[in-house]
Amino acid sequence: MEKVASPPSAAEEAAARPEAVRSYAALLSTMRSGSTLVKALLGSAPDIAHLPETNFRAVLRSPARQAALERAHPKGILLLKRPAWFNEAWTYPRVPRERSVRCVVLLRDAFPTVRSVARMLGGKRGEQWSGLAGLRLLTRLYWAPVTRRLLAFAEAGEHAVAVVRYEDILERPEEETLRLFHFLGSAQAEGVRRYGEPENARWKWGRDDGSPRIRTREVQPPRPLGEADLRRKAAVDRLPGVAELRRRAGFA
């Protein structure tokens, strides 16, 4: 599929924008799809604010929230990130139309997403979800509806949209981040694989990532799957509707 529905020149648009007017961008994704990593990579640009997780819908609907955010973060591009919650599986992302906003749609393949979501749930409940039955349920009730809506959002053309896959970020971080810098209208002229922590905040498990892997501050190679996970992945990929979604997203 086409990765980017290219808007009119973002760099020219940014250059023509009055200094006082900020550019807003939203990073849209499922949970456990690498959104903390992508936000950190993009926030390494000198003109993109590296914010902690922020509810883009609440900010974009409220001039008062926008004013407060702009006072606290003077950089030209404000990147807002909040993945879909479980109760939003059939309604996310609902980006307000009241303000022009560039949207980065981040996709991750079904099995690694739901496996990570199951681990995130933790404790006895996490053990319950980490079995094949739990992974199938998470795929059908969370990954599939959110991914379907993200793809539909990207194709609708209501906002300027760039689509990126988490797997491509791990494989080609410099190339993919440079593409996204250009899309967002950033002056950053080189792609990156290293990053820092959010401005005036810390990664917090449950809102961002907070794992030892993200704290290396550098893109890490993907972990190989063991035999048991390969079997579970094959079972997840065979679920009705999942193969078609994976194909549309470029995973199959």
- Per-residue tens of pLDDT for the chain, all 252 residues: 545 445 554 444 444 444 445 799 999 999 999 999 999 999 999 999 988 889 999 999 999 999 999 999 889 999 999 999 999 999 999 999 878 899 999 999 999 999 999 988 875 454 556 688 999 999 999 999 999 999 999 999 889 999 999 999 999 999 999 999 999 999 999 999 999 887 666 666 555 666 788 888 999 998 899 999 999 999 999 999 999 999 999 998
Query: pLDDT at position 208, please?
Result: 62
Q: Write down the pTM of the prediction.
A: 0.87
Please report how the helices 227-237 and 110-121 are oriented relative to each other, as an axis angle in degrees rounded to 10.
110
Query: pLDDT at position 106, please?
Result: 98
How far is 30 from 147, CA to CA, in rounded Å?
7
| Residue 180 burial by Cβ neighbours in a 10 Å radius (0-12, 13-18, 19+) | buried
How far is 221 from 227, CA to CA, in rounded Å?
19
